[in-house]
Structure 1
Amino acid sequence: MNIYVPRDERFGHLKMSDFLGYTIKAVAKSLLPVLQAVFDKTPNTFDSYKDVLKLHEGGLPLPDIPQVQALMQAIPLEMMKSILTPTTGQRSFLKFPMPLIIHNDKWIWKTDEEFAREMLAGVNPVVIEKLKEFPPTSNLDPTLFGEQNSTITAEHIEKNLDGLTAEQALNGSRLFMINYHDTLMPYLSRINSTSSKVYATRTLLFLRDDDSLKPIAIELSLPHPEGEQHGAVSTVYTPADSGVEAAIWQLAKGFVAVNDYGVHQLISHWMRTHAVMEPFVISTNRHLSTLHPINKLLVPHYRDTMNINALARQALVNAGGIIEFSVFPSKYAMELSSVIYKSWSFADQSLPADLLKRGMAVEDPSSPTKLQLVIKDYPYAVDGLAIWSEIESWVTEYCSIYYPDDSIIRNDAELQSWWKEAVEVGHGDLKNKPWWPKLNSLPELVHICSTIIWIASAMHAAVNFGQYPYGGYLPNRPSLSRQFMPEVGTADYELLKTNPDKVLLKTITGQLQAILEISVIEILSTHASDELYLGQRASEEWTNNAKALDALKRFGSKLKEVEKRIAELNKNKSLKNRGGSVKLDYELLSPYSEQGLTAKGIPNSISI
């Protein structure tokens, strides 16, 4: 590594050996000559879905060429075993595990039902919001970006509202939105000057009586050709199930999926978990002694975070790195993530606050969680609130042992200097924001620590360990788009009539980028052999306080109960969003897991 990581923050031996074992596939970028020799006459485009499936059903054949011979000699035998797959009569390499999204049905990902279900139970369930006004409006500065309000009309959507008017659906909390318009529009001119060709998207969804969602309109927008100050040029697409209109609708969903992939990877995942956690790690180590009770509470939730972040900066999010090569914002990826951080708020990161902000819940004092979900079958929120509640109870019980009086908190010099540096130095760009909580009372301390633990454990698990199960099959979650929607009269538009799949595959991520991206998300989605999960400690001797030890045991027992409740919910066939037709149970917030690609388990920390 060429990025400094303090000695006590580096990977342990088991973690490093696991990481290196899986990472060998991520060297694909250095094997481009070999990969190009393997591919057919169209080396940067999958010709069919059958070609995509080859990555999971047999791997790529190894041709007998000098580049391969040199590769065989350069890589040690033990490492070679991890990328070579014996097949009948030949050797192949880069054979990836079968992603769960296609384990039962190779085509279910194409349905509107699954497209919508993943907004609630997929790898990026933290974006969907209840529509507050129709048509949707923009918050972009009109003096810089002109007219950016949505062009979706009641006429576009009312044919799919089960007999309701747009106004009735809005007032009845039946309309929801995935909105990437304002996030991406300021960057589109620059992004589209690269090999990427993307839109800023708005997607409207309607809540059915059975609590499932269906997409009802997709708006694709570009900056005005005479300059972005002249506003957006937008086209609205609505569902169709036959003819060229159905092919165009499938492409529109593909452009939304590209938006979702990039925003998930750069914002929901990297910025909102990995990046924002590091200042707390550093401030804790600088100001809270190893004997301090809050150090003992939080340190397990920092394990390996600085090390994995350093590796990411070296090989993934660095200039010219894998993310820039294979995800649509290209060289603007880190700038986009950094700009969005300006609107990040610590006060919104607890799950209850996040759900309220997005309109996905309303306050309900009579409920055990003090919230009522607007969509009852919202797996991320249902399971997440159960986990949040247990984290908050554990932190309350633990902190109460050491801080029976608020004055002790105010007079704890280490604690106060810890929070001051985390806010004013670690998150110094935002230090003057009024939403930072004070640290003068037990409830404030509990909320701060619970939020940090939530981000490091459950929130990261929810947006990380489903990446390969959902995105390992590239067409379901493409990382970039290489051409715009075909226009009437073009060859591609005509091809939509006879071979729409080929047009989609020409549009989304190509072969080389696909192999890189699938390699990376396989690594990121894999639990290490030495993983420690929520409620677990490396040693029972982490404290000699009997009350604290008993409280941790109760926390672990409660999490086991949550695990059982999640399993029971997944058996309930009336809950359409927990598994859907794809039959992929929502287990990303089930607390425990074994090693490997399991799509479940909440590690203590952001360790991968």
Structure 2
Amino acid sequence: MAVYKVHVTTGDMCLAGTSDHVFVTLVGTDGESERTELDNYGLDFCCNQTSTYTVNTHALGRLLLIRLEKAQFLYLPENEWFCSKIVVETPEEEAVLFPCHRWLTRGEVLELRGAKAMKASDDDHPLLIEHRAKELAERTQLHQWKVYAEGAAHITHFEFSKLPSEVRFSFSKGLEFKFSKEFAIAELRMKGLFGSEESWASLESIKSTLTFQTSPTAEYVSEHWKDDAFYGYQFLNGVHPSVIRSCPRLPSNFPVTEEMAQPFLEAGTSLQQEIQKGNIFLCDYKSVEGLPTRVVEGKALPLTAALCLLYLDTAGRLKPIAIQLGQEPSEKCPIFVPSDAELDWLLVKMFVKNTDSVIHQIISHLMKTHLVAEVFAVATMRHFPAVHPLYKLLTPHFRYTLQINTAARNTLLGPTGLLTKSTLGMEGIIELLRRHLAETTYSSLCLPDNVAERGLQNIPNFYYRDDGLKLWTAINSFVRAMLGLYYPTDDEVSGDAELQRWIQDIFTKGFLGNSRSGMPESFITVEEVVKFVTMVIFTTSVQHAAVNSGQFDYYCWFPNSPLQLRKAPPTTKGLVTMETILETLPNIGDTVAFIISSLVLYKKYTDSVVLGSYPEERFGEPAANLIIENFQKELSSIEERITTRNKGLEVPYCYLKPSEIENSVSI
């Protein structure tokens, strides 16, 4: 008889009790063991605990699979059981890791492969080949696509309550998420703010919403939001650094003259000279032109397809110098400049930020991180078995993505959702998604290409770019080293049918087969895969942090980034009063509802996994684990450089510190 020691580690999300019978069968090249019960008596399957069991059997040869089963004891209620991993010590004293990270339910039979990453061409035993084919068939059947809306990316077919258990929130995260929201609502309701339909009495009265929660940056925003230099700063280093671009020539529909611009430029220069020097920048919101908006009290809410011209002075300050609240200049759509009446200038800046906030939430945040991540996640679940190296590498970057997105469609995009309560209703949101997906390019998702295309390589004090490029380079080096273990030649790439089906699914379901996007339809070289996987990891971690983590900081003082404005934009100069501004801002109830949403997104949750952490031990190869360690060291070095830089900044840019970036879109 041969003795195998079976070490079972449970997760931190579940407790299996005396109602559970769990059985294990070891399968090797020389046969399989008898079905052996793991005798727990309700004591050994506690959370985050490793328990050891013995399986006595004949020598099994090379271990191929572990078969797990869970059965009911008498008629007691079901207890789901989460198994993190199993390590089997063989009679030859070899320790073989079998990653699991799955829930096991009554009557389920689960077969696990060893931790060594294997492409289909690497499988060398009929049982492994059969297991791979069976797993892929089950995955393709389980994870299916659903049309969300014509012209928009496809989504998972699962409804929120029907998601497979392994992609659900941990128990702790679910409680914290709910508690943080309910606590904020309760406090604001006690103050008579939550649900109020009254307008704000003054800008000063809005500060009462900051008393239940604040941050150093949020306080700075509330004090400096009127300053033109800080206004311009936010287009680079606020929560939405994705629109601004260099302006090599003025658009024909934005006729800013030398006479208009001269007072706001430094002495001895001209607008044309500053354009030639690369010191003029543009934010153009043409994509919202003509969108249907929500109708409130019989009137459609305003949303301006604004144009905002900015100037970079010799001190490195970026300031707005001209704003047009529409795409076509006219007597009713004048160009506003900083020398106009103070309240005129303040209100037109608010209208620009209103449009910018809508684009930020619907496109840069929802579409280009959450929905794109969902496409990557569903394609990965459908086309890679758990043993595939890309499944092992990418799955940690999709943690909770499907649950977050299905929840978001209920709570944010439902009939009473926060986004549908903003300026755009559901019809406008869908149309905006269509427009932007049709124009989305592969290069726009790759930060180095994106920065170059927008002409932002040399603008100073652009911390999102500086930190993001460091992280892109680190991720790219990490991915190249990892994939080098499994794809030593281009032939390995072109010959991996699972990989080719994966990228084809992403191209057709996520980008609707739009060849103009530049999105790859297939992979020929290793370098193509390296760049694409770098983009996937960067998007689901770094880019999401950049457009998500600062929401409370910049949205808490709501006049700075209003998601909704109620009155039409000014068409004649000199008529704006403070009463106009207060009537234009959302009412008290809508304001605090938006702030609560940003607070929930701002909170750090106890089960967060930061960028570069792979606690699930999916890789069994020492070389892969060494590459992960080197990646973590590089991230630590980047962290130190950012921390040192931030000590000299009036407003520290912390959103891309590796310790602040989650490994995935998980909130």
Q: Normalising to structure 1: TM-score of the pair?
A: 0.78
Of 369, 377, 381, the residue aligned with 2:461 is: 377
Alignment of 1:36-47 (within 5 A): 38=192, 43-47=197-201
Distance 1:281 1:115 in 2: 36
1:145 corresponding residue in structure 2: none
1:53 corresponding residue in structure 2: 207
Distance 1:404 1:233 in 2: 63
Alignment of 1:110-149 (within 5 A): 110-134=226-250, 136-137=251-252, 149=253
2:7 corresponding residue in structure 1: none
State the Cα distance separating 1:430 from its structure 2 match: 2.8
Residues 312 and 104 of structure 1: is their aligned pair in 2 closer, same or farther, counting only changes over 3 Å? closer
Distance 1:333 1:41 in 2: 24
Of 568, 579, 584, the residue aligned with 2:644 is: 568
State the Cα distance separating 1:426 from its structure 2 match: 3.8
Q: Deviations over 1:246-283 (max 9, x none)?
A: 11111111111111111100111001110112111011
1:83 corresponding residue in structure 2: none
Q: Is the 8 A contact 2:221 2:554 kept in 1?
A: no
The structure whose residues are more often helix, as a share, is 1
State the Cα distance separating 1:27 from its structure 2 match: 6.7
- Say yes or no: does 1:216 pair with 2:321: yes
- Say yes or no: does 1:239 pair with 2:316: no
Residues 347 and 437 of structure 1: is their aligned pair in 2 closer, same or farther, counting only changes over 3 Å? farther
Residues 416 and 2 of structure 1: is their aligned pair in 2 closer, same or farther, counting only changes over 3 Å? closer
Q: Is the 8 A contact 2:541 2:662 kept in 1?
A: yes
1:417 corresponding residue in structure 2: 501
State the Cα distance separating 1:542 from its structure 2 match: 2.0
Q: Deviations over 1:188-230 (max 9, x none)?
A: 6887974412322111111111222111111112779xxxxxx
Distance 1:569 1:276 in 2: 32
Structure 1 counterpart of 2:448, one-letter code: P
Residues 521 and 106 of structure 1: is their aligned pair in 2 closer, same or farther, counting only changes over 3 Å? closer
Of 175, 182, 197, the residue aligned with 1:24 is: 182
SS in 1 for 2:615: coil
State the Cα distance separating 1:604 from its structure 2 match: 0.7
Of 452, 456, 479, the residue aligned with 1:395 is: 479
Distance 2:570 2:482 in 1: 59
Residues 494 and 286 of structure 1: is their aligned pair in 2 closer, same or farther, counting only changes over 3 Å? closer
Distance 1:239 1:247 in 2: 10
State the Cα distance separating 1:544 from its structure 2 match: 1.3
Distance 1:486 1:411 in 2: 61
1:177 corresponding residue in structure 2: 282
Distance 1:102 1:434 in 2: 39
Q: Identity of paired residues, percent?
A: 28
Alignment of 1:358-373 (within 5 A): 358-360=454-456, 373=457
Residues 176 and 5 of structure 1: is their aligned pair in 2 closer, same or farther, counting only changes over 3 Å? same
SS in 2 for 1:200: coil
Q: Is the 8 A contact 2:293 2:428 kept in 1?
A: no
1:436 corresponding residue in structure 2: 520
Of 419, 431, 441, the residue aligned with 1:335 is: 431
- Listed as ranges, the gaps of 5+ residues in structure 1 are 58-94, 138-148, 225-230, 361-372, 573-578, 593-600
Q: Is the 8 A contact 2:254 2:327 kept in 1?
A: no
SS in 2 for 1:313: helix
Distance 1:179 1:555 in 2: 38
The structure whose residues are more often strand, as a share, is 2
Q: How many residues align?
A: 507
Of 593, 597, 609, the residue aligned with 1:532 is: 609
Q: Is the 8 A contact 2:304 2:325 kept in 1?
A: yes
Distance 1:465 1:13 in 2: 23
State the Cα distance separating 1:158 from its structure 2 match: 2.1
- Say yes or no: does 1:187 pair with 2:291: yes
Residues 488 and 292 of structure 1: is their aligned pair in 2 closer, same or farther, counting only changes over 3 Å? closer
1:88 corresponding residue in structure 2: none
Distance 2:293 2:421 in 1: 18
- Say yes or no: does 1:458 pair with 2:542: yes
State the Cα distance separating 1:332 from its structure 2 match: 1.6
2:154 corresponding residue in structure 1: none
Residues 11 and 165 of structure 1: is their aligned pair in 2 closer, same or farther, counting only changes over 3 Å? same
Deviates more, 1:169-178 or 1:12-21: 12-21
Distance 1:10 1:434 in 2: 33
Distance 1:530 1:41 in 2: 32
State the Cα distance separating 1:393 from its structure 2 match: 0.5
Q: Is the 8 A contact 2:229 2:319 kept in 1?
A: yes
Q: Is the 8 A contact 1:176 1:204 kept in 2?
A: yes
Distance 2:406 2:658 in 1: 27
Quick check: which has more Rg, 1 or 2? 2
1:406 corresponding residue in structure 2: 490
Q: Is the 8 A contact 1:188 1:222 kept in 2?
A: no
Q: Is the 8 A contact 1:319 1:331 kept in 2?
A: no
Q: Is the 8 A contact 2:447 2:469 kept in 1?
A: yes
Residues 543 and 485 of structure 1: is their aligned pair in 2 closer, same or farther, counting only changes over 3 Å? closer
CA RMSD of aligned residues (A): 2.7
Residues 104 and 264 of structure 1: is their aligned pair in 2 closer, same or farther, counting only changes over 3 Å? closer
Of 13, 20, 36, the residue aligned with 2:171 is: 13
- Say yes or no: does 1:207 pair with 2:316: no
1:504 corresponding residue in structure 2: 581
Q: Is the 8 A contact 1:128 1:178 kept in 2?
A: yes
Distance 1:454 1:437 in 2: 20
Q: Deviations over 1:500-527 (max 9, x none)?
A: 3x43222122211111111111111222
2:620 corresponding residue in structure 1: 544
Q: Is the 8 A contact 2:160 2:407 kept in 1?
A: no
Structure 1 counterpart of 2:551, one-letter code: Q
Distance 2:645 2:471 in 1: 15
Residues 407 and 281 of structure 1: is their aligned pair in 2 closer, same or farther, counting only changes over 3 Å? same
1:355 corresponding residue in structure 2: 451
Structure 2 counterpart of 1:234, one-letter code: C
State the Cα distance separating 1:322 from its structure 2 match: 1.9
Residues 304 and 151 of structure 1: is their aligned pair in 2 closer, same or farther, counting only changes over 3 Å? same
Q: Is the 8 A contact 1:223 1:232 kept in 2?
A: no
Residues 189 and 305 of structure 1: is their aligned pair in 2 closer, same or farther, counting only changes over 3 Å? closer
Q: Is the 8 A contact 1:204 1:218 kept in 2?
A: yes
SS in 2 for 1:186: coil
Structure 2 counterpart of 1:7, one-letter code: S
Structure 2 counterpart of 1:15, one-letter code: K
Distance 2:517 2:328 in 1: 32
Alignment of 1:247-286 (within 5 A): 247-286=343-382
Residues 519 and 105 of structure 1: is their aligned pair in 2 closer, same or farther, counting only changes over 3 Å? closer
